[in-house]
């Protein structure tokens, strides 16, 4: 039977099959194709096409970390105060923890590219477990400070933070990126942050456990705090356990990003240390240096805003811890949903434009919040500001992973985040002085100005740099 006399449905099926075969061949020729990656699972009615076992394990690890950070950032200062330490001791501890966290983040990035990201995640999780165990057993300030620095105890658990701060980040982000195609990478980062913020919201509720244990069982408040530190040790062990099944790919350099302005990959077969400085090639350093400048302005803004925002609410509106706690719980829930829209927004507008617009709007809303006449109006404005601010976070993370060669991603993440963490450790002192001696709202206004500067610098540095998925979209390619 000639092809002209075959049924029309059969001819349509044959044409569709041939088109799929051609698309499959073209896909293997794209720079972002990873021939060594495991085959994608068949899509189901409840699971996104990009979700696999490795991502489930990594998402679980981030959720556990975010939950512990959320209650530790509340409990640690109260625990130290209950032990008799004053505000100076608490400030010294958190400064040391911030500096140690920044240094370990840079070190983790370099070591992860050399020895493997999964191994470093397991080590960091065990360090968190050790820190929690020491907090449960000791009351010595020196011992507690060392434990907090080693385990990053009480660091990076603010409202909507998604647990992305500290040495965990440079090892985790590249491991996440290698599990997703270029087209899905930003969506995956958004889903990761969504899960993390929900974990943080649940963790913030655990901060009430010591009071509940005292009211229900007559347990001293110090023992209630120590019970949470024991839980932290258990969570650290669980974080290590859930990461162990993850399969890490070791051939990243063979499939580079390839976006416009991106750093070229190292030639296949070249030594890992050939021509690298702190784990980065010269081309990557040109990009990472720009990320470090923008991260520095963001870190200074975080230091002006984050640690003293609660104090500003208290002084400006006379609210107590219970009212602020309710607001922060709502903020965590509000911050969760925008993360799921990050991938669509980056696809629709482009990564750089999405970051710049969201950061610009967030800075304007922060400035307007300062002049609000009531606590809940200010909280409403701050919630709106968080929506735009959180929309930009997974887009920025995915953009960095997309324009850096896979074999250098951990080093890039560690070095790029170092100025932000260092800056956020310095400016709280300046913010406290300005609040006390100049004007209560001045640090918040400076934070808004710094975030606006961050948006302008981001556009200036990266307007001509494009990740591979945006190049593919322009040329009609689909990964």
In the chain, count H helices and then E strands: 18, 0
121: helix, strand or coil: helix
280: helix, strand or coil: strand
List strand residue ranges (DSSP E) for 337-409, in order. Answer: none
The terminus-to-terminus CA distance of the chain in angstroms comes to 37
Q: What is the DSSP string of 420-474?
A: HHHHHHHHHHHHHHHHHHT-TTHHHHHHHHHHHHHHHHHHHHHTT---HHHHHHH
Nearest partner of 161 among 87, 74, 237, 56, judged by Cα = 74
The total number of residues written for the chain in this structure: 479
Class of CATH domain 53-243+278-474 = mainly alpha
Other C-beta atoms closer than 10 Å to the C-beta of 4 total 6
pTM of this prediction exceeds 0.75: no
DSSP structural state of residue 267: P
Answer yes or no: are the C-beta atoms of 336 and 197 closer than 8 Å. Answer: yes
Instruction: Output the tens digit of pLDDT for each of the chain's 479 residues.
Output: 444 444 454 444 445 444 444 444 344 334 444 433 444 445 555 677 788 888 999 999 989 998 888 888 778 888 888 898 876 777 778 778 878 888 888 888 878 877 788 888 999 999 999 999 999 999 999 999 999 999 888 766 555 555 556 777 788 888 888 888 878 888 888 888 888 888 888 887 888 888 888 888 888 889 989 999 999 999 999 999 999 999 887 544 334 444 555 555 443 333 344 566 677 888 889 888 999 999 899 888 887 876 677 778 878 888 765 576 677 777 777 777 778 788 888 888 888 999 999 999 999 999 999 999 998 899 889 888 888 888 888 888 888 888 888 888 888 888 888 888 788 777 777 777 788 788 888 889 999 999 999 999 999 999 888 888 777 655 554 44
Nearest partner of 171 among 231, 115, 242, 210, judged by Cα = 115
What is the biggest distance separating any 2 CA atoms in the chain, rounded to whole angstroms?
93
**Which residues, other chains included, contact 439 with Cβ-Cβ below 8 Å and sequence gap of 6+?**
none
Query: For residue 135, what pLDDT is reported?
Result: 95
Query: For residue 22, what pLDDT is reported?
Result: 40
List strand residue ranges (DSSP E) for 255-334, in order. Answer: none
Answer yes or no: are the C-beta atoms of 67 and 200 closer than 8 Å. Answer: yes
Query: For residue 448, what pLDDT is reported?
Result: 92
Answer yes or no: are the C-beta atoms of 298 and 451 closer than 8 Å. Answer: yes
For 218, left (φ over 0), alpha (ψ -120 to 50), or beta?
left
277: helix, strand or coil: strand
The torsion of the CA quartet 91, 420, 199, 53, rounded to 10 degrees, works out to -140
Query: For residue 256, what pLDDT is reported?
Result: 41
* The two structure tokens encoding residue 109: 């990035």
SS3 content of the chain, % helix, strand, coil (to 5): 75, 0, 25
């Amino acid at each position: 039977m000639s092809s002209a006399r075959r049924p029309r449905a059969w001819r349509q099926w044959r044409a569709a099959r041939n088109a799929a075969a051609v698309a499959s061949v073209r896909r293997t020729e794209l720079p972002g194709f990873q021939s060594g990656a495991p085959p994608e699972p068949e899509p189901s009615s409840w699971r996104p096409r990009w979700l696999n076992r490795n991502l489930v394990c990594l998402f679980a690890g981030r959720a556990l970390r975010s939950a512990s950070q959320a209650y530790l950032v509340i409990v640690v200062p109260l625990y130290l105060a209950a032990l008799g330490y004053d505000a100076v001791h608490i400030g010294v501890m958190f400064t040391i923890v911030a500096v140690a966290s920044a240094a370990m983040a840079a070190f983790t990035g370099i070591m992860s590219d050399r020895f493997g990201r999964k191994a470093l995640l397991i080590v960091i999780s065990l360090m968190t477990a050790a820190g929690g165990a020491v907090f449960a057993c000791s009351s010595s300030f020196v011992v507690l400070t060392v434990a907090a620095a080693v385990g990053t105890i009480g660091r990076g658990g603010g409202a909507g933070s998604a647990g992305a701060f500290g040495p965990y980040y440079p090892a985790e982000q590249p491991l996440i990126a290698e599990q997703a195609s270029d087209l899905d990478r930003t969506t995956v980062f958004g889903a990761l942050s969504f899960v993390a913020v929900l974990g943080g919201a649940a963790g913030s509720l655990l901060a009430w456990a010591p009071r509940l244990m005292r009211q229900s069982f007559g347990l001293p408040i110090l023992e209630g705090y120590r019970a949470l530190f024991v839980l932290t040790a258990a969570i650290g062990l669980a974080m290590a356990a859930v990461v162990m099944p993850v399969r890490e790919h070791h051939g990243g350099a063979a499939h580079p990003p390839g976006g416009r302005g991106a750093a070229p990959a190292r030639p296949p077969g070249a030594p890992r240390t050939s021509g690298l400085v702190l784990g980065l090639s010269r081309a990557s350093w040109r990009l990472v240096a720009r990320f470090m400048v923008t991260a520095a302005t963001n870190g200074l803004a975080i230091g002006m805003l984050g640690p003293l925002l609660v104090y500003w609410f208290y002084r400006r509106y006379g609210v107590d811890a219970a009212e602020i706690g309710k607001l922060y719980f709502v903020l965590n829930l509000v911050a969760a949903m925008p993360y799921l829209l990050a991938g669509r927004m980056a696809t629709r507008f482009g990564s750089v434009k999405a970051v710049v617009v969201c950061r610009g709007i967030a800075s304007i809303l922060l400035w307007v919040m300062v002049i609000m006449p009531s606590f809940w109006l200010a909280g409403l404005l701050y919630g709106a500001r968080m929506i735009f601010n959180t929309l930009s976070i997974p887009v920025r993370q995915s953009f960095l992973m997309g324009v850096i060669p896979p074999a250098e991603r951990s080093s890039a993440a560690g070095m790029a985040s170092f100025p932000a963490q260092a800056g956020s450790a310095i400016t709280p002192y300046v913010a406290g002085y300005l609040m006390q001696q100049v004007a209560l709202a001045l640090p918040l206004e400076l934070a808004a100005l710094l975030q606006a500067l961050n948006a302008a610098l981001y556009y200036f540095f990266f307007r001509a740099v494009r990740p591979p998925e945006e190049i593919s979209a322009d040329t009609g390619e689909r990964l």
